Structure 1
């Protein structure tokens, strides 16, 4: 499954319902750290085909960011069967890769 850019709350909720496992990136166009780690997230989306990879711009889809209490960019939240299973804040490449690997297993 390719990386999906979320444009609405409804789309986000539907993606969570349809994905057994999902990795969600909360970022913003103005976030330098978010722009640095985004290519890693994108590469992981090409490697792990059984995980839905979703990107949420906190300015464009603010209600989703607010619902999950996002206060720092980037923040990653991992879901199994629509329920939050883990999260990660910041730009740790090894941390992100590890969390995705755990989600995949």
Structure 2
């Protein structure tokens, strides 16, 4: 299941865990975001050992600024609070490549 996060403290707690967290930085007005959403949701169902969260860049601008988000969708993989990978755009193959970095592929 993908959790929507807009609170910075909650975001920091989730990404700071000693497990992988896959973050979808998205926006309600973004066409490519809507197109890739089902792929992200399916990955969340298939990889229960990874936390999957969404951050709306408009609703959570502070988090987006902290993460250096300049385009939507942007996907960042975190582990223990550190960035472990990133991809920009609605490319399913790039999402699968990030998942492969976790060893859960």
**TM class, shorter-chain normalised?**
over 0.9
The answer for the alignment partner of 2:100 in structure 1 is 101
How far apart are the structure 2 equivalents of 1:39 and 1:104?
22
What's the CA shift string for 1:21-66, capped at 9, x where partnerless?
1100000000000110011001000000111101000000100000
User: What SS is found at the alignment partner of 2:21?
Assistant: strand
Q: CA deviation at 1:20?
A: 1.0
Q: CA deviation at 1:98?
A: 1.8
* TM-score, length basis structure 1: 0.93
Runs of 4+ in 1 over 6 A off after TM superposition: none
Q: CA deviation at 1:91?
A: 0.8
User: What SS is found at the alignment partner of 1:103?
Assistant: coil
Residue 72 (structure 2) pairs with residue 82 (structure 1): no
Unaligned segments of structure 1, at least 5 residues: none
* TM-score, length basis structure 2: 0.93
Q: What is the CA RMSD across the aligned residues, in angstroms?
A: 1.2
The answer for the alignment partner of 2:39 in structure 1 is 40
Q: How many residues align?
A: 104
Q: CA deviation at 1:102?
A: 2.0
Unaligned segments of structure 2, at least 5 residues: none
